[in-house]
Amino acid sequence: MEKTKTQIKNRNSKREQFDKSKTMMSLDYIFGSKTSGRMDFSKVAFVHSRRTGRIRHLTDKTTGNVLFSFRPNGTIAPTVAGAGLMASRKNNSRARSSRNWEVIVIDGVSEVVSKGKTVFCKHVVSCSDSLRPGEDVSIVNEKGELLAVGKTVVGGPTIKQFKKGQAVKIREGSA
């Protein structure tokens, strides 16, 4: 039996709605509530694995840049472009410090970090106490400019306490 175009279109529409709701729930769970509300899903395309059918990447429809990568273990790895979408446009310092997935560094290391170099504990101004080793975070300077994305090496309280050692290994810099 041959499927009509409307049946295929309805199936694709349902899949897109499911993908959108799954992505919204995952973003809100991993990066905090209302994080997905800052994203415009009409400008985002879902790339699925040919083998498993799972979501692999979220890409920008206009530029084709990858915004987020979905890992097999259920975590989401944001790129610099994706972290920029998640960040609110306000430069309010109180709003910035309440984000659990951000590490704020001193302005003096902005250039080095944006090139992809490691962030050390002594350069961190602020971070959440709920950060754990291995979590994906975005690195911003005191002005609120997005510098890079990476993974924490040690937990939030340790980052604040130590003055030596690595805090975040950078995966991608903005420069």
Strand locations in 24-91, DSSP E?
44-48, 55-60, 66-70, 76-78
Q: What is the DSSP letter of 117?
A: P
- Residue 170 in tokens: 């950078």
Architecture of domain 92-173: Roll (2.30)
- 5-82 belongs to which homologous superfamily? ArcTGT, C2 domain (3.10.450.90)
pTM of the model: 0.80
Q: Is the pLDDT of residue 82 over 70?
A: yes
16's tokens = 């897109």
Query: Domains of the chain: which residue ranges?
Result: 5-82, 92-173
Mean pLDDT of the chain: 85
